[in-house]
Amino acid sequence: MSTTPTRTLRIAMNGVTGRMGYRQHLVRSILPIRDQGGVELPDGSRVQVEPVLVGRNESKLAELAAQHGVTEYTTDLDGIVADPATDIVFDASMTSLRAKTLTKAMQAGKHVYTEKPTAETLVEAVELARLREETGVTAGVVHDKLYLPGLVKLRRLVDEGFFGRILSLRGEFGYWVFEGEHQAAQRPSWNYRKEDGGGMTTDMFCHWNYVLEGILGAVKTVNAQTTTHIPTRWDEQGKEYAATADDAAYGIFEIETPGGDPVVAQINSSWAVRVYRDELVEFQIDGTHGSAVAGLRKCVAQQRAHTPKPVWNPDLPVTEPFRDQWLEVPANADLDNGFKLQWEEFLHDVVAGRPHRFDLLSAARGVQLAELGLRSSAEGRRLDVPEITL
């Protein structure tokens, strides 16, 4: 069978001058797919990608285009969305602008692939999911963490029954984001302004929703405490501003597994914490038959038969080499960049004309969890997570 590309998908990539849009989606996903000759389809043919860089800073777009051999760039988002030659609209711009961009794209009959959250409110997020149903386009939402080697291994342990009855999940995420006064911040200033769609809960609870769904099951309740640890920061121009959004969120979730067993999950998320762990995010699952800890790439496990019996004695130094008692879980396969892998899966779905498994309804559940998390913190109580229907 021929391996010559049978078609090319023209992708308008909005927000590629930002950190995520540039590093993960352009440099580590679309350009490698282009340079490898596209994506191979089940019949042996290939589909190639043609990125069009979209943003507000024309000089920066021109620089990136020249650097990476991209022939097209534009500051006219509406024009590229309306262009009949555009097949897919990708969005990694500010959260506050995303729902409008995705709505225009789907109304124009374009397939959409987008970062999270998809909207600032649950009402908007559900409307996007309904619009996808009406238009019939293929829509994908970045669920990158489920494609990471560490979580792929963790999910495999769940599927193989390694844990026995799963009891709990604990997650730790975060790092110290500099205030911007003496050292430049690693994240954009809008992340810390509620009025611009910023906030840890808004940003990360949509991630935790799909991680919990993808690894364990549906989220049934949430009990959260959010806070702004660092109330004053300095923006990209060195100007002092008030941080109006939360920079940390501490959540407890009740999960219902497919077998019906309840699991307690707790995840701490903070941009005001210094890292003392192997990776910036780690998840630990404990079960009756074993436990495992997964980061972005590595996963280690401990079976019940190999579990030691520590003795608590605060008067003596610790003698148990706890970390040495865990075994690394092998990949047993080549695992590519998670963002790239999901892009390739999405492109397969576009060509086949079928829905993507991580769609706008999945994203709406993430927005819902973020809203409920903020409300839970404000009201000081646990809240149920209702099922969303279109």
Domain presence at residue 364: no
Same domain, 120 and 189: no
List, for residues 225-261, the tens digit of each pLDDT value: 999 999 999 999 999 999 999 999 999 999 999 988 8
Cα three-residue angle 366-372-378, rounded to 5 degrees: 145
Are 248 and 200 a contacting pair, CB within 8 Å? yes
Q: Do 114 and 241 fall into the same domain?
A: no
pLDDT higher than threshold 60 for residue 2 = no
**How high does pLDDT run on average in the chain?**
96
Both 274 and 350 in one domain: the answer is no
Total number of domains constituting the chain: 2
What is the arithmetic mean of pLDDT over 374-383?
A: 98
What type of residue sits at position 105? A
Boundaries of domain holding 66: 5-143+338-359
Which tens digit of pLDDT belongs to each residue from 12-53? 999 999 989 999 999 999 999 999 999 999 999 999 999 999
Q: Supply the pLDDT for residue 333.
A: 83
Query: Does residue 327 lie in a domain region?
Result: yes
**Which CATH number does the domain housing residue 314 bear?**
3.30.360.10
pLDDT at 4: 63
Q: Are residues 61 and 114 in the same domain?
A: yes
94: pLDDT strictly greater than 90: no
| 320 and 350, same domain (yes or no) | no
> Among 122, 125, 249, 247, which Cα is nearest to 176's?
247
Q: What is the pLDDT of residue 251?
A: 98
Both 219 and 101 in one domain: the answer is: no
Residues 155 and 268 in one domain: yes
How far is 114 from 275, CA to CA, in rounded Å?
A: 29
For residue 138 the two structure tokens come to 């293929």
Do 64 and 195 share a domain, yes or no? no
Amino acid at 132: R
- 21 with 115, same domain? yes
Residue bearing tokens 């844990």: 163
CATH of the domain at 99: 3.40.50.720
Q: How confident is the model at residue 3 (pLDDT cuts 50, 70, 90)?
A: low
Residue 74, pLDDT score:
98
Lowest mean pLDDT among 62-71, 130-139, 315-324, 356-365: 315-324
Domain presence at residue 149: yes
Q: Both 227 and 253 in a single domain?
A: yes
Q: If you average pLDDT over residues 78-94, what whole number do you get? A: 97
Letter string b/e over residues 110-137, b meaning 16 or more CB atoms within 10 A of that residue's CB: bbbbbbbbbbbebebbbbbbebbeebeb
- Tell me: the pLDDT tens digits for 175-219? 999 999 999 999 999 999 999 889 999 999 999 999 999 999 999
What pLDDT is attached to residue 5?
A: 63
Contacting residues for 187 by C-beta, under 8 A, at least 6 apart: 19, 177, 271
Answer yes or no: do 87 and 219 share one domain. no
E strand or H helix at 166: strand 166-174
Half-sphere exposure in the Cβ direction for 314 (13 Å, CA): 0
As a residue count, the chain comes to 390
Note whether 130 and 252 are same-domain residues. Answer: no
Q: 386 in a domain, yes or no?
A: no
pLDDT in tens, 67-85: 999 999 999 999 999 999 9
Query: Is pLDDT above 90 for 106?
Result: yes
pLDDT band at 1 (very low <50, low <70, confident <90, very high): very low
* Average pLDDT of the residues in 8-14: 98
> For residue range 254-292, what is the model confidence (pLDDT) as tens digits?
999 998 889 999 999 999 999 999 999 999 999 999 999
